[in-house]
Amino acid sequence: MRLARPACLAVGAVLGCLVLSAPAAAATNCGNPGPNQAVLWSEDFALCDVLEIGSYPLSAVSALSTGSSGYFRYAALGGNVWLSYFSPDFQGHYGLGVIYSSDWLYSFSASASVTVSSYAGPRRLNDLSAAERAALLQLIQGFLTEDVLNIHAMHHDWHQYDHMFFSGHRGYLAGMEAYFRAHGGQAFIPVPVWDPSQPIPPEFAWVKPDASGNPREPLEHLDPGIPTPAEFLFPGCVVDDDIFAASVEPFHDGVHGAVGGIMNDIHYSPAAAIFWPWHSYINTLYTNWVVGFWNYCA
């Protein structure tokens, strides 16, 4: 199985750090993570560390001293935690990221730090109160700059029916979540999800104007009524994320097309507020696949 590549994430503040207790000497001493734990591995799975809820400098994690690159490579998370990390030299201008549940990480710098926190899962956009949706929309509007939109416009490799469809958009979402964290929006981390079988709330028909202030194409259909295929909700033991991406991406594309307007523009669909809860939903499908594979198939 090809492991998911790292998310490209937006810069945030350095996380606080605590000193680790004595690390595990070998991966065989770690096993699967408990519900409130994260397990970090070296590149060759020779060494590992079990992290409880807390913050740690990666320089204290034994896995960093192993592998051909000397980098920490992989992690799996228990179902009740999420993990955030700060890497000042990761992907140049990117740094702070968030992952959920039993996800895989790849290629992190030895100068990074990690924090393991409690995780309750994403909320549903249609279940939020009107006041909560208004607050979420205001945060999204504050985050959306032309530079943010251009990231998506330049990344055609996120739409090639392979694993980059998941990992690229996951990183894009994590950039928004970093912004939320820095602007008092912790209540909306993870980004709430929009299920396309439900109507788009009217306030989420908002589309950011272009750089000159001119309106972009409005959304055409606010109630596409498209159910999620059962095989995406319960994917079973699909052993390759390329295969899973190739199955999910046509469904994803169909929703973009059914909503229409700017959502049908592969370059600038992120200008639509609903793009973000929609991709948070896609991200949840991916997380469910990773969790299922990790717990039942690996």
Question: pLDDT at position 18, please?
Answer: 25
Where does 27-102 have alpha helices with state H? none
Query: Which pair of structure tokens corresponds to residue 237?
Result: 């033991």
Nearest to 287 by CA among 152, 100, 121, 154: 100
Return the structure tokens found at 142. 């504050």
Q: Which of 94, 118, 142 is the last residue of a domain?
A: 118
The CA-based angle 108-113-117, given to 5 degrees, is 110
Specify the pLDDT at position 50.
Answer: 83
- Dihedral pair phi/psi, residue 49, rounded to 5°: -140, 140
Per-residue pLDDT of the chain (298 residues; tens, 9 = 90+): 333 322 322 222 222 222 223 333 344 467 778 888 888 776 666 777 788 887 776 566 544 444 444 455 667 777 777 776 655 443 332 333 455 544 445 445 555 566 777 766 789 999 999 999 999 999 999 999 999 999 999 988 899 888 889 888 887 887 888 888 889 998 998 899 999 999 999 999 999 999 999 999 999 999 999 999 988 887 666 667 888 899 999 999 999 999 999 999 999 999 999 999 999 999 888 877 766 655 556 5
Domain assignment present for 252: yes
Is residue 143 within 8 Å of residue 102, measured between CB atoms?
no
Residue-level pLDDT at 71? 53
Helix spans in 41-129 (H): none
Q: Which tokens hold the place of 205?
A: 């028909």
Closest CA to 238 of 166, 289, 295: 289
Q: Are residues 34 and 93 in the same domain?
A: yes
Residue where a domain terminates, one of 118, 133, 148 = 118
Residue 86: predicted pLDDT: 58
Structure confidence at residue 281 (pLDDT): 95
Composition of the chain by helix, strand, coil, percent to 5: 40, 15, 45
Q: In what order do the strands lie in the sheet with 48-51?
A: 48-51, 38-42, 72-77
| Number of folded domains that form the chain | 2
Question: What integer pLDDT is reported at residue 55 of this predicted model?
Answer: 72
CATH assignment at residue 106: 2.60.20.10
Q: Does residue 292 share a domain with residue 152?
A: yes
Identity of the amino acid at 241: D
Residues 143 and 286 in one domain: yes
Pair (164, 272) in one structural domain: yes
Q: Given this model, what pLDDT does residue 31 score?
A: 75
The pLDDT, as a whole number, for residue 72 is 57
Domain membership flag for residue 55: yes
Which pLDDT score, from 0 to 100, does residue 16 have? 25
Within a domain: 47: yes
| Boundary of a domain, candidates 72, 98, 118 | 118
pTM over 0.75: no
Question: How far is it, in rounded angstroms, from Cα 264 to Cα 219?
Answer: 9
In the block, residue with structure tokens 């973009």: 256
112 and 246 part of one domain: no
Domain carrying residue 175: 125-297
Q: Quick one: 196 and 229 in the same domain?
A: yes
**Residue 42: predicted pLDDT:** 67
